[in-house]
Structure formats: C-alpha cells, structure tokens
Amino acid sequence: MEKNMMDELIEKIKEKKSPIVMGIDPKYEMLPDVVKSKYPKTLEGFAKATVEFFKNLIDEIHDVIPAVKPQLAYFEMMGPLGLKAFKELVDYAKEKNLIVIADAKRGDIGTTSQGYANTFLGKTSLEEYEEEIYGADFVTVNPYMGTDCVKPFIEDSKKYNKGVFVLVKTSNKSSGELQDLKLENGNKVYEQVVSLVENWGEDLRGKYGYSSISAVVGATYPEQLKEIREKAPHTFFLIPGYGAQGGKAEDIALGFDKNGIGGIVNASRSLMTAYKSDLWKDKFTEEEYAKATRAEAIRMRDELNQAIYK
Amino acid sequence: MEKNMMDELIEKIKEKKSPIVMGIDPKYEMLPDVVKSKYPKTLEGFAKATVEFFKNLIDEIHDVIPAVKPQLAYFEMMGPLGLKAFKELVDYAKEKNLIVIADAKRGDIGTTSQGYANTFLGKTSLEEYEEEIYGADFVTVNPYMGTDCVKPFIEDSKKYNKGVFVLVKTSNKSSGELQDLKLENGNKVYEQVVSLVENWGEDLRGKYGYSSISAVVGATYPEQLKEIREKAPHTFFLIPGYGAQGGKAEDIALGFDKNGIGGIVNASRSLMTAYKSDLWKDKFTEEEYAKATRAEAIRMRDELNQAIYK
C-alpha cells in the first residue's frame, strides 16, 4: 500500500497516545518576557523571539504530541520575515518528527489555488527548476469556491503524500451565519460541505478508513460534531475550540469513533501560556515555560483520553 | 465628510474614465523572455523579474487604469522573497497613485482575522511599537466563517480608511456548488452573503452611495451580477472573469448602475500577455510588452465604457 498522510498522522497519535496538535500562534503579548527581552521590539526581534520560544516548546513536548499547527495569520503579521520564521519552525518540527498542519485557510479559483497548494504542500516550478517552499504535511482550505478551488490541493496531496483539512463547521461564534443555513433539501450548508469532503477524499482513504482530505469541525458545537461523525465516516477531524474557546473533553469525544480515533484536537493559548495559567503558575517559573507547556499537554492528553475511551 | 476609500476608488475610475483593475499575477510562464533571461532561474530571480516586469507595466499604464490587484497566491509561491516583491510592488503602485487591492481571500476566527486585517490593511503592534506591513487599500475576504471573521477587516477599514471586497459570487466554474445552494427561505447562499455585506458596510458608505465594504461578483455569471446589483445598491463590485475566463463587456455592464458606476473589472492574463496576443503580437515586439499592455488596457477601457454607457 502506498504511503498515506492520514495514516501517518493517526499512527503518530496512537504511538504517543495523544490526539493533540499544538497551535503555533505567535502573538506578541503571549510570549514570555524572558524570551522577548532578549530581542529588540521590532518585527525582526519578534520573529526571532517566536522561533526561539516555539523551538523550545517543540524540544520539550515533541514526545507527547504528534503534530503542530502554525497559524499563518500571525506569521504574516511580521511581514516577509515572519514567513522565514514560519519556514524555520516547519523545518524544525519536521526534524523532530512532528506532523505539520499549516493553518492558512486558503482557497481561490483553480489555477490560483494551484499556487497555494504548491506553496504549502508541493513545489514551485520554474520550467525544469523546482523548489519546495514550505513543505507542510497538511493545509487548511476554505470551501466557499467549490470543487475547482479544492482540487489542486487534492492533486498535490496525491502527488506529494500530503493532506488537507477543509473548513466544515468552524469553532467561532458566527460560524452558523452561513454554515448552518438550512437548505431547501433539508440539509444545512455544512452538511453539504461535508458530503463534498467525503467525495473529494475518496481516493485518499488510508488503512484506518480515514482520508487525507478531511475536515475542520469545532469543539464548540458538540451536536454538530456528533452528527458529522455519523454522516462522514471517512472524514477525520481537526478540532479547534478546546480549552480557551470553551470546548470540553466530553464534547470532543463525540467526534471520535468506537476505536477512539477520528480526530485531533488543537490547543494553542492554553499550551503556549501554561506557565502563567492558574493551574501551573505556582509550579513553574517563567523561565520554565516549556516545562509548564509539557505538563499542560500531558494533562490535556489524559483528560482527552479519559473522555474518548470511557 | 471623512475620507472614504470607496469614494477614492470611484473618483479614480471617473478621472481616468476606466473601470479596470490590472491583476498582478506573476506566473513564470507568462513573463516575457526579455525579462526572465536577465535573472537566474531561481525564486530570487523570479521575484526580481516579477518586480521589473510589473514596474514597467505600471509605468506605462498608470494613467489609464485606476488600480492594481496583486494576487497573493503567486507571490507566496516564491516564499518569503515573494512577499518582499509584493511589498515592493504595492509601494510602487501607491507612489504612482494607484489603488491597491490585495487579493488574498483571507478569513479566520475573530482574533486571527485581526492578524490578517492588520497585515494587509492596518499595522502590527508590539505594545507601543507599530509598523505597517503591506499597506494595501483593499483586501479580499472569504465570508464562510461569518461576521466575526469579517469584523476585524471592517474595523481596520474604519481606522485606517481602507476597504474590503467579500467573496459573494465568484467567477469559477464550481462557484455554484455552495454559493448557489437554495435555502429553505427561497434565497440562495450568495444572496444571503450579499445581504450580510450590505449590513457590514452600512457605516462606510461614501458620497456615491457605495460602501468601502463591498463584494466580489464574477463576470461569468451575468444573471447573478444583474440580480445582485438590484438587491445590493450600496455594494460595489470587484468583477473578475472578463476576457480570458469568458466574461463579456455587455455582461459586465449589468453590474453597473444608471450613472455608470458600481464596479471595477479585473483583467490579468489579457493585460500581462498582450504582447503575445493575436490582437497585438504583430504591432509590438516582445521588448515592447508594456506598450502592448497599454494598448490592450485602452482597448478594454473603450469596450467596457461603450457597454456601460450605451
């Protein structure tokens, strides 16, 4: 059997018994002073502090989590230097055998989407010259423009053994404005999208039955999570909204199948700022921020496993 | 009255009698050999060739078009260097008094969308330190995540006198898969989106009645263009799909109001590669590519005006 990126992700989750992806969301105010104070307060200093901070987190927790999810918006805020920092962290995470999900939420008309797919998953070709740009393993994609928008990402997933998470039901408050609109045929918009995702992923199903073309479904809407799990048995979930946004472990468990697989849960703020959380601030100093993140990742892992395997 | 970015765009269109925005889509195969051959076939060479080529086009046609629309996908394909090239071209276009529409189709949950809004329209703040990243005038936004995704772009539009084009009905073949879905209430999804856009733009209407928060509506769907023009009188249109994609001048005219305003038409490939088009290849040499682009821009302008003002 050919390699399948979703199989690789699922195997890493099993191996580490940890369905957690650490969000890499470099917000200036979230970085600890012990790191920030080493660098000038400029975009360049911010980019350097970002790389130092997240490399340290990765060093400390790469054995307890299977994946990281850098959020492009925060890297783009630093300008071109931010994209260099993004690349450096993608490379570092891959060296540490982590799966990298580029959270870019891209999408455009076909030929232009090809550009985004090549940027994040594939290669840029200048006639016979080829170069990998970021080499992420997965990228998030916005489905509003339909099949011809998503297709280049599927093609690159086939060609380079990569994968895609398509936005289906997002974790934010206003996600229902479009996604929950009820259609004439009785379905909601997000149900229509998830049925498209099931089709798009047909050729890329791996040995666990899940496809490398899968979906983003928020922890903040547990009913939908449950319903989509039932309707889309080949669609793996990237689940944002755990912790800071309000999603609970028992809600999240609804997105998993009877074998305890089917999703990976994102945690950004709660991992990054564990060192100053009520739970850990008395146990770790600011200098020990990475150890606090590790402790929180283990706590989350256990909490999630308890809910998933109960 | 306060400054309003949509007024500025409309005034530039009127002044130049030209409702055309030139798409800046740097595809390697589209750049003329006379430019490419000066630089090594690497990402850096590609980025330099891109800057040279589009600066020359801007020099030649800035008096006959009001705006440019760089497509981020193609710049991102060059990695961080591509974003530097993007910035250089945004600055150059603004020096030449052109309006810049960053075609990024971004969107995320609220706090993350703020990052994108700051990147393209506003400023990045590191506590008291602030820096403008790209300083575009408009950015395109994907509405799939609803109001809290779009709101940061609206806020930055207010704060920095900028604007937004929200994807409503896109020009690609599969746009209908989601956008045309018929809702229980009889509306289609894109109609629901355009009514959100009318609301989002309420505070940012200028003296021509159009808001700085407006919409992308493709020339390839003339019926919808007409229908949306009637339903959304304060929503200005960014109209892709003219020329290479099949949209005709008489179709596009349906998106304009009785005063001949209401939209700006994108042309990318047909302007960039005018020098090798059937129409112009015998009149201009490859070295004269910028003059060919100018001739084609004038031809388009006249063709569009004839259809709009007939």
pLDDT tens for A198-253 read 999 999 999 999 999 999 999 999 999 999 999 999 999 999 999 878 899 999 99
> How, if at all, do strands B129-132 and B123-126 pair?
antiparallel
* B172 shares contact with chain A (CB less than 8 Å): yes
Contact criterion met (CB < 8 Å) for A41 and B129: yes
Tokens describing residue A152: 């280049």
Q: Return the exposure string of B240-279: e unless at least 16 CB atoms fall within 10 Å of the residue's CB, then b.
A: bbbbebebebebbbbbbbeeebbbbbbbbbbbbbbbebee
| B254 contacts B230 by C-beta, under 8 angstroms | no
Give residue B244's pLDDT band: very low, low, confident or very high (50, 70, 90). confident
As a whole number of angstroms, the longest Cα–Cα distance in chain B is 59
Residues from chain B contacting residue A77 (CB–CB below 8 Å)? 115, 118-119, 124, 133
Nearest to B99 by CA among B30, B205, B19: B19
Work out the angle at residue A230's Cα, subtended by the Cα atoms of residues A264 and A103, and round it to the nearest 5 degrees: 30
> In the prediction, which pLDDT does B245 show?
80
Binary contact (A43, B124; C-beta < 8 A)? yes
Dihedral angle, C-alpha A160, A163, A167, A172, nearest 10 °: -120
Binary contact (A129, B41; C-beta < 8 A): yes
- The domain spans of chain B are 5-308
Number of H helices, E strands in chain A: 13, 10
Chain B residue numbers touching A78 (CB-CB < 8 A): 124, 133
Q: With both helix axes pointing from N to C terminus, report the angle between B147-160 and B110-120 in degrees, rounded to the nearest 10.
A: 30
Contacts of B71 in chain A (CB under 8 A): 108, 112, 115
Residue B275 pLDDT > 60: yes
pLDDT band at B2 (very low <50, low <70, confident <90, very high): confident
Angle (nearest 5°) at CA B217 between B216 and B221: 160
How many residues in chain B? 310
Q: Which fold has domain B5-308?
A: TIM Barrel (3.20.20)
pTM passes above 0.90 = yes
Question: Own/partner pairs for B281-288, CB < 8 Å, 24+ apart?
Answer: B286/B32, B286/B33, B286/B34, B287/B34
Residue A226 makes CB contacts below 8 A (sequence gap 6+) with A254, A255
Judging contacts by C-beta atoms under 8 Å, the chain A residues touching residue B154 are none
B22 touches B267 (CB < 8 A): yes
CATH class label, A8-308: alpha beta
Q: CA B13, B16, B17, B20 torsion: positive or negative?
A: negative
The residues in B 76-105 lying below 8 A from A, measured between CB atoms, are: 76-81, 83-84, 87, 103, 105
**pLDDT tops 60 at residue A45:** yes
Closest CA in chain B for residue A119:
B77
d(CA B5, CA A302): 52
Buried-exposed string B87-101: b where 16+ CB fall within 10 A, e elsewhere: bbbbebbeeeebbbb
> Which candidate in B24, B83, B112, B221 is best for mutational testing of the A interface (most A CBs within 10 A)?
B112
| C-beta atoms of B112 and A73 within 8 A | yes
| Predicted pLDDT at A1 | 56
Per the prediction, chain A carries an average pLDDT of: 97
Give the whole-number percent of chain A exceeding pLDDT 90. Answer: 97
CA distance A117 to A151: 9
Containing H/E element for A267? strand A263-267
pLDDT at A243: 82
Reply yes or no on whether the pLDDT at A2 is more than 80.
no
Alpha helices in A62-212 (DSSP H): 72-76, 80-95, 110-120, 147-160, 176-179, 189-200
DSSP symbol at A216: E
User: A95-153, pLDDT tens digit by residue?
Assistant: 999 999 999 999 999 999 999 999 999 999 999 999 999 999 999 999 999 999 999 99
pLDDT confidence of residue B243: 82
Nearest-by-CA chain B residue for A115: B73
CA distances from A202 to A205, A212, A257, B224 (A): 6, 9, 19, 32
> Which DSSP helix (H) or strand (E) runs through A69?
strand A67-70
Is the pLDDT reported for residue B171 higher than 70? yes
With vertex at residue A286, the alpha carbon angle to CA A90 and CA A248, rounded to the nearest 5 degrees, is: 65
* Segment A157-168 mean pLDDT: 98
> Where is B263: in which H helix or E strand?
strand B263-267
- Mean residue pLDDT across chain B: 97
Paired tokens of B21? 């925005």
pLDDT in tens, B16-71: 999 999 999 999 999 999 999 999 999 999 999 999 999 999 999 999 999 999 99
Q: Is the pLDDT of residue A25 over 80?
A: yes
pLDDT tier, B264 (very low <50, low <70, confident <90, very high otherwise): very high
Query: Is residue B1's pLDDT more than 70?
Result: no
Q: By C-alpha distance, which of A137, A222, A1, A220 is closest to B110?
A: A220
For residue A127, the chain B residues in CB contact (below 8 A) are: 28-29, 41
**Number of Cβ within a 10 Å radius of residue B282:** 7
How far is the C-alpha of A163 from the C-alpha of A103, rounded, in Å?
12
Taking the C-alpha atoms of A66, A71, A77 and A80 in order, what is their torsion angle to the nearest 10 degrees?
Answer: 60
Q: How far apart are CA B276 and CA B286, in angstroms?
A: 7
Option in B115, B116, B189 nearest A178 (CB): B189
Question: Are A174 and B148 an interchain contact pair (Cβ–Cβ within 8 Å)?
Answer: yes
Report the catalytic residues of A: 105
The 8-class DSSP code of residue A284 comes to S
User: To the nearest whole percent, how much of chain B has pLDDT over 70?
Assistant: 100
- What residues have CB less than 8 Å from B44, skipping those under 6 apart? B81
Instruction: Give mean pLDDT, residues A272-291.
Output: 97
Q: Does A108 touch chain B (CB under 8 A)?
A: yes
What's the complex ipTM? Answer: 0.97
Nearest CA in chain B to A196: B177
- A76 contacts B146? CB cut-off 8 A: no
Q: Report the pLDDT value the prediction gives residue B310, as an integer from 0 to 100.
A: 81
Q: Does residue B168 register a pLDDT over 60?
A: yes
Taking the CA of residue B79 and the nearest CA in chain A, the distance in Å comes to 6
Distance CA B206, CA A286 (A): 50
Q: How large is the average pLDDT for residues A12-20?
A: 98
Three-class secondary structure of residue A237 per DSSP: strand
Q: Are strands A263-267 and A138-141 parallel, antiparallel or unpaired?
A: unpaired
CB atoms inside a 10 Å sphere around CB A199: 13
CB contact under 8 Å between A119 and B77, yes or no, is yes
Chain B nearest-CA distance from A7, in A, is: 27
Please give the helix or strand (H or E) that residue B22 lies within, else none: strand B20-24
